[in-house]
A and B are shown apart, each in its own frame.
Chain A
């Protein structure tokens, strides 16, 4: 018990005295997972919307692929990325192994199916008659997608947050492709693991506390959105 209180106290001191290592790791984590979520949105939302709103050959197959991807074990994502980017791999010449970029790619692989899948479910929930209404207002193809995405914006936002929550707390894939290099590819999760290995429990607890704070913040926002009554600013989009 003693060690936990000691650790938490130490953690709070580290966080509020602006310990450089802690903040470097925090910012790298946000940069990596933030850009991963951004690219996952670019990929996941259009795929989810298109697959959800259109009829096309292999639709069921593609939806099954997305759903499988939603449950893709992060370690599998890490392994897939490694096979491509290690030096002897197809993209080895890019020298992406053990870089933040590699971590972003692995996280995109984890998060984009989650975002696509939830978006897909969300747009399928939309009354198909609403699509007819948009068309009859004179909308072209892109206007239709845009308006229906806006209509599904709350679940889509939830999808993005779920994706973010999924990758920021993930450790297996990032340690595989990032290598957990201090000051370069060490993020909150891998830092916590490393600190435990090195016996630095106060640092480990500090990282875990920050991680918990972030995931709590994300989930809190998510809950607010799901209970969406009273969030005026979202309605105004």
Chain B
């Protein structure tokens, strides 16, 4: 009796699992058209600016590919490439990119576009960093222990910020140094609420400008140059995984090609008066 009951319990469990799996298959048929799908791991700064919403539909129309952009920090995007979870990555952290390609995870690095990082802060600029170089500004902020919000999320922006701190020879720590652990948008809003200094890419700043009271204080410094590169993931590194290398190459060709570059050049001009990103291939 007990045995029978237990059997019926398990059999019903198995039956329902079966139902689920089959329906999952049925459900996924639509999603599963062979090798037309490209997973693009990219930074929140490009994603949140809305640039990809302009680029991807045009690319999808020109080719038969379907792009799935996943917005993460540069660090996570590179890690996804290393695991073979992405087919192509669009990131902005030179050193990491170089290591990624040298270790054979990516087949090539191609310049796509750039913009600049800017250091922003309250309008009255209590530490008077306006007009300084980035390194000078950081030294001043650190010396005054003025509130500073860091992404603290291993993103490209975060890496750049840490690189500048390294140049100053000081390690930022203390109550004044806040790590948000969030994307650029949230970090900007935290800085705004706290009337703190922070560093951001210009694109995200421009997109959020209407909601912010912070102003640009440091810009144009060479160290604040923010170049984006696109890297297709090397399928040889992941033989057991179905990496869409052809699709990745097609996307690379598109974004560095005439149409892609033109879209980048135009993007944001209508809204902000100047582009959010500057194309690097066809200027």
Contact = CB atoms under 8 A, between A and B. Distances in A.
Please say whether the chains A and B touch (CB closer than 8 A): yes
Interface of A: 35, 39, 42-43, 46-47, 50-51, 54-57, 86-88, 92-101, 104-105, 108, 141, 179-182, 184, 194, 196-199, 201
Nearest to A40: B20
Nearest to B185: A197
B31 A100 contact: yes
Given A39-B23, A57-B6, A88-B85, A98 B70 contact: yes
A179 B67 CA distance: 12
A101 B44 contact: no
Contact of A56 (B9, B85, B210): B9
Contact of B2 (A55, A95, A182): A55
A130 to B, nearest CB: 18
Given A42-B20, A86-B83, 8 more contacts: A35-B23, A35-B27, A88-B240, A95-B32, A95-B37, A99-B28, A105-B24, A182-B53
13 contacts: A42-B19, A47-B12, A88-B241, A92-B241, A94-B32, A97-B39, A101-B27, A101-B31, A179-B68, A196-B185, A198-B207, A199-B207, A199-B210
A93 B242 CA distance: 8
B186 A197 contact: yes
B16 interface: yes
A198 B70 CA distance: 15
Contact of B28 (A50, A101, A194): A101
Interface string B106-137: 00000000000000000000000000000000
Given A56-B6, A57-B2, A98 B68 contact: yes
B152 interface: no
A104 B20 CA distance: 10
Nearest to B184: A197
Interface centre among A35, A51, A196 (most CB of B within 10 A): A196
Q: Specify the main secondary structure of chain A where it touches its partner.
A: helix
Interface of B: 2, 5-6, 8-9, 12-13, 16-17, 19-20, 23-25, 27-28, 31-32, 37, 39, 44, 48-50, 53, 68-71, 83-85, 183-186, 207-208, 210-211, 238, 240-243
A94 B242 CA distance: 11
Contacts of A196: 185-186
A179 B71 CA distance: 8
Contacts of A46: 12-13, 16
A11 B241 CA distance: 43
A99 B28 CA distance: 8
Contacts of A108: 20
A87 B85 contact: yes
Contacts of A97: 39, 85
A198 B32 contact: no
Contacts of A93: 242
A152 to B, nearest CB: 17
B248 to A, nearest CB: 14
Contacts of A35: 23, 27
A13 B9 CA distance: 51
A99 B31 contact: yes
B24 A101 contact: yes
A87 B241 contact: yes
A50 B20 CA distance: 19
A179 B42 CA distance: 12
B68 A184 contact: yes
Contacts of A86: 83, 85
Contacts of B17: 43
Nearest to B9: A50
B48 A198 contact: yes
A87 to B, nearest CB: 5
B31 A95 contact: yes
A98 B71 CA distance: 12
